[in-house]
Amino acid sequence: MPVILASSSPRRRELLEKAGLVFEIVPSPAEEVHDASMRPEELCELNASIKAAEVAGRRTDAVVIGADTLVFIDGQPLGKPADLDTARAMLRQLAGRVHQVCTGVCVMFPDGTRKIFHGLTKVTFLPLGDEEIDAYFALVNPLDKAGAYGIQEHGERIVAGIEGDFDNVMGLPVKLVMAALEAESGCGEGVDG
C-alpha cells in the first residue's frame, strides 16, 4: 500500500527516510487555521488533519501522513515568519526562555480510519542579542521554519537544551508515526530502526 507524506518539508522527508519508510511526497495546498485561542495540541492536530484530508481525497489508494509544527510561547503560536524583521522578533521573544514545540500528526488510511496525535517538546533557548541572532541568520534561512529556527541547523548557537523528542522539534515525532503505521496497517513493518 502506498504511503504519502502530505508535506514538502525537507526535514520531514529526511526523518522518514532515516526511519526506513518508503513513501511518496504529495504536498497539501490546504489552508492552515491560525487561531491563537486554541490549545497548541488542538491547533496542530487540526491543521495536520486538514492537510492529510486534502491529499487523501485525491489519493484514496494510499496511507497519507499530514503534519503541522508550531512553536508556542506564553500560549501564543509562532508559525513561519513572513520576513526577517518578524523572524528577529520571534528569536528575541524566545531568547533565554523555555518554549514548547508541538507537532500534530494525522495518519489517514484508505478505509477512512484516522489516527490523530501530537508530540510536545520543551526547548530552552540561550540568551541571544541582536549580534547572535544576525550570526545565526547568516547561516540559516529562518523564513521556512516555525518559530524562525531549525534545531538541526546550527541549533547549538541558539538552543541551551531540550526536554523531549528531538525529531519532534525538527517537524515530525517519528516514533509515534511509525507506531501508528505499524499498529493499523503493517506499513511500517520491515523497516530499519
> For the segment 1-45, what is each residue's pLDDT rounded down to a tens digit?
899 999 999 999 999 999 999 999 999 999 999 888 899 999 999
Q: Among 35, 61, 68, 144, which one carries the catalytic annotation?
A: 68
3-state helix, strand, coil in the chain (%, to 5): 40, 25, 35
Kindly state whether residue 60 falls inside one of the protein's structural domains.
yes
Task: Give the residue from 7, 127, 150 showing the smallest Cα distance to 65.
Answer: 7
Domain with 56 in it:
3-184
Kindly state whether residue 148 falls inside one of the protein's structural domains.
yes
Kindly state whether residue 49 falls inside one of the protein's structural domains.
yes
| Tally of domains within the chain | 1
Kindly state whether residue 192 falls inside one of the protein's structural domains.
no
Evaluate whether 108 touches 53 at the Cβ level (below 8 Å).
yes
Kindly state whether residue 58 falls inside one of the protein's structural domains.
yes
Residues in the chain: 193
* Known catalytic residue at 68: yes
Evaluate whether 133 touches 145 at the Cβ level (below 8 Å).
no
Kindly state whether residue 193 falls inside one of the protein's structural domains.
no
User: Residues of 73-105 as b/e, b for ≥16 C-beta within 10 angstroms?
Assistant: beeebbbbbeeeeebbebbebbbeeebbbbbbb
DSSP class of 71: E
- Please say if the pLDDT value at position 157 is more than 90: yes
* Average pLDDT of the segment spanning 137-153: 93
Separation CA 114–CA 96 (nearest Å): 38
More confidently predicted of 77 and 66: 66
Give tens-digit pLDDT for 44-74: 999 999 999 999 999 999 999 999 999 999 9
CATH of the domain at 107: 3.90.950.10
Residues paired with 63 in a beta bridge: 3
Kindly state whether residue 100 falls inside one of the protein's structural domains.
yes
Kindly state whether residue 190 falls inside one of the protein's structural domains.
no
